[in-house]
Structure 1
């Protein structure tokens, strides 16, 4: 195995800490912010999140085309850390600005800022995934680097979950509008600094001498790329489930359990997912990537069932927290595996079509799925809350409490089961990896100028 340096590993981890400092703050708290702080109805908030996802259907492929045509002295993926870190951080701050305007203008402002930060997140997060295939050609080392990335991701999530609401309360002095606005700049500045660190230290070392191809040529790498379609389907369902789970946590703990004080701890349990991330290289070696992936998803389903058991047995806080922790523990493998194998699907596309398109395949296969899942995972619970009679900052009706339970327990469980179905078919393509790597290495040695042609 071709080992990468500690500097590369730490810097790759830093790139995901950077992304999570803003994205986690937005995705975990935006629905609650819109309904209970900014004053939008649950239906309007859900619609804002959905409309933003419609833009993803356009912006992810466009970003992919841009990435495929990027050529610079720093490489194809790396320069985007430099170019987009400031706009991404800036719009992250603007998303939590609360202008005192009418209801229609509020919705318009929320839509514009949320769409902007979402589009920019695609632009800066996709290179974090696409650069992986350029950092090493070794599939096992890619799993290791993905684990380091997950360490960074979980560290970023932990920092936000343990500190965000406390900072909102401390800086807001009882005014959550002021608190959110004064808190987000801290995460935005940290995000910029870490992206610049990643830009400085990450180097694209895998040879890529393919000429700049026509704008739409990269889409041909999708044709017949069945492992990529498996990754896309499973990832989309996973992110809907994951974000539905965390975005409804404030409602579950405040209104159903009457324990608002547990919200930071509950979502802070995300850090224990590092347990499965640490075991991931060993699991993949001892079993397979497919089995490790399925194990993570199945463990999350089990966690949802334990949460339900806690709610059904007298709202047992200890049992609910146990299920919540189990779900997060298992999520480490379920979340990490798609980010690792997306690089293998880039190799599969090159092997099958002669076209290497890491930017496009990761823009749609990773960033689009994450964002679309995050939007739908926030929008669907919002609609459930609206349909069941939820009203912010008041005692909830039995119908509204059922809507909260559906959004926090059964909606995530359903989509996690759906995510398992395509993964069950991944093994046959995983077994092809040694043959694919050998043939690609032979092509790069004997006919370097031919790559990019069919």
Structure 2
């Protein structure tokens, strides 16, 4: 029997795929709403509709189709690796186009935004869904799977660090104040790097779990297995809730720093850091106080998130994924909600709270996807049929639906609080946001995103795959596969 242990080189190679994907995904979560309203010049309500409708279509149409096709792919490279190979270039090209700002009429801009966003989500699904499913067939060893997830989400944090910390200051610096030119330049480099990283993932990974011929099933049987799989239903709902919160708070921080945080207090707090960064040559942070504060705020959070990811595997191995996930998600939620208590000058408390929130959320990050791989094992254990990609496609439905809903909530709620977009300002209005916008931004990083997380914590009480069940499933599947 082939060993289920995997080398460090393969773990790193696999993680490069998520580094590539998250150069795109983190940009969508962090900047898509801001790009549409403040760079591309769409009205709030139109940006909300595009993000919601296209996102939901991508979630419920693209992902199930690609999942079913990937499970039925047969090649000398396996089921999932060919998808990573053949989508590497298209994903990079479409990501660049989606953040390009052609000089069209307003109607043309709407059509272009909807079209390129649709193509981007299709290309992302065709690449990232098989990539995610690949983790379920690289190894069946639960400890190795936890380790693989830790490598993977170390790469995620690296991409998140770049996008959330450096991207906005670099956009302003490279574009010399022209955000449109800056973001096109940055996305060009990110697209090229992402393409190379996906090709490395294809070359360095191997599919070890190959379903036996008698496990072949129809799409109808696969779907029937899904809807009888209670852990899958819980994980699907949980994924939707988590990504609603991530899109909501991630997309709101830029507005929070531009409209709520006191600029003088922020300047005083971050000035020593800016002086240090300038001394080592990183002077592009000084182009704008709010963007510098936004980047450094995210930097502190991501560093602590990486620490959380580093301890995640040991905690999951010792106490089981479900219990660790639920406990740390609840604590992370309390820190999110704490932002409602802070006034605009409480900058130090904001940074400390973000760091603590991201540490506990970081613990959950690799566990989520390892749990979804466990759900694929649970389905095989219960039904004696393995359908890895369609299970992961359902989770991608949750991810895309959560991203669409959360992103639309950001622009929709800001509109309710009176936010003035670039388009409205260009029509002759002075770019001074009403005072209500500050309160809306505060709610979008505190109370509103805490609600989906709390519901997710409650759902985990009904998730039956605890540590004892994990070990039982692993042992029995190993026996069958031999």
Q: Secondary structure at the match of 2:342?
A: helix
Which position in structure 1 is the counterpart of 2:475?
438
Deviates more, 1:222-231 or 1:342-351: 222-231
Residue of 361, 370, 385 corresponding to 2:391: 361
Cα distance, 1:338 vs. partner?
A: 1.6
Deviates more, 1:1-10 or 1:287-296: 1-10
1:346/1:358 contact within 8 Å kept: yes
Which position in structure 2 is the counterpart of 1:452?
none
**Pairing 1:174–2:177 present:** yes
Which position in structure 1 is the counterpart of 2:298?
267
1:145-160 matches, cutoff 5 A: 145-160=148-163
Q: Deviations for 1:48-100, whole angstroms, at most 9, x for unmatched residues?
A: 11011221211111111111111110011111110101111111000111122
Change (3 A) 1:60 1:430: farther
Q: What is the number of equivalent residue pairs in this alignment?
A: 442
Deviates more, 1:352-361 or 1:101-110: 101-110
Distance 2:124 2:356 in 1: 29
1:221/1:350 contact within 8 Å kept: no
Cα distance, 1:34 vs. partner?
A: 0.6
TM-score (norm 2): 0.88
Deviates more, 1:2-11 or 1:423-432: 423-432
Residue of 449, 456, 470 corresponding to 1:412: 449
Which position in structure 2 is the counterpart of 1:218?
222
Residue of 326, 335, 339 corresponding to 2:365: 335
Q: Which runs of 5+ in 1 are unaligned?
A: 446-454
Cα distance, 1:225 vs. partner?
A: 1.2
1:20/1:153 contact within 8 Å kept: yes
Cα distance, 1:199 vs. partner?
A: 0.2
TM-score (norm 1): 0.93
Which position in structure 2 is the counterpart of 1:384?
413
Change (3 A) 1:426 1:208: same
**Pairing 1:287–2:287 present:** no
Deviates more, 1:263-272 or 1:137-146: 263-272
Which position in structure 1 is the counterpart of 2:427?
none
Q: Which runs of 5+ in 2 are unaligned?
A: 264-288, 423-430
Distance 1:42 1:109 in 2: 16
Q: Deviations for 1:396-452, whole angstroms, at most 9, x for unmatched residues?
A: 22322222122221111111111111112224554322322233233333xxxxxxx
Q: Deviations for 1:367-387, whole angstroms, at most 9, x for unmatched residues?
A: 222222112111111110111
Which position in structure 2 is the counterpart of 1:425?
462
Residue of 302, 305, 309 corresponding to 1:277: 309
1:309/1:319 contact within 8 Å kept: no
